[in-house]
Amino acid sequence: MQEVTEQKKEYVPTIVAFCCNWCSYAGADLAGSSRLTYPANVKIIRVPCSCRVNPMFVLKAFQRGADGVILCGCHPGDCHYVTGNYYTRRRMSLLFSFLNYMGIEKERTRVEWVSAAEGAKFSAVMNDFAKKINELGENKRLQDLRVKEERDE
């Protein structure tokens, strides 16, 4: 008799990383050219500046089933657009604090400052963030369940 063992597929979280074009995206490029690995479930979206990231994008990601959202920008004071990341800092501090107040685990959202020279930091940040999200598992709290149904069909 043959035992049928169905291997349960391990859940792979989805992580959306918004990176500003001038620092963090370049930092990610440097991580690449330095062959510094981080998990493949981290997917990067290029934006001109971290201040381009609308809270609606973050919510959209969670709605669509993202398990973690991270924003990366130039270090404060080094913004290519002079002041953009200062606004990001306030906006995301308030948004993330608010999401946590709504019951969303605070580890699911993060802002990191990564310069174009910090390939190693980029990789370290992504490894760490992915690890945290793995530990948290699937984000069910902010997901639009209909999206899941569509997907399962």
Using CB under 8 A, which residues numbered 85 to 114 contact other proteins?
Answer: 86-87, 89-106, 109-111, 113
How far is Cα of residue 68 from the mean position of the Cα atoms in its chain?
5
Taking each continuous run of H as one helix and of E as one strand, the counts in the chain are: 5, 4
What are the φ/ψ torsions at residue 73 (nearest 5 degrees)?
-140, 175
CA distance 80 to 42: 24
Least Å distance between CB 3 and other proteins?
Answer: 27
Based on CB atoms, which residue is closest to other proteins, 2 or 33? Answer: 33
CA distance 14 to 42: 7
Least Å distance between CB 2 and other proteins?
Answer: 27
Number of chain residues interacting with other proteins (CB under 8 A):
77
Q: Is 51 in the site for other proteins (CB under 8 A)?
A: yes
Q: Is 72 in the site for other proteins (CB under 8 A)?
A: no
Residues 5-44 close enough to bind other proteins by CB under 8 A: 14, 16, 21, 25-26, 28-33, 35-38, 40, 43-44
Give the count of beta carbons closer than 10 Å to the beta carbon of residue 81: 15
CA distance 12 to 18: 19
| Residue 108: DSSP 8-state | G
Based on CB atoms, which residue is closest to other proteins, 4 or 97? Answer: 97
Least Å distance between CB 121 and other proteins?
Answer: 14
Least Å distance between CB 63 and other proteins?
Answer: 6
User: Binding residue for other proteins (CB under 8 A) from 4, 80, 131, 132?
Assistant: 80
Helix/strand/coil for 120? helix
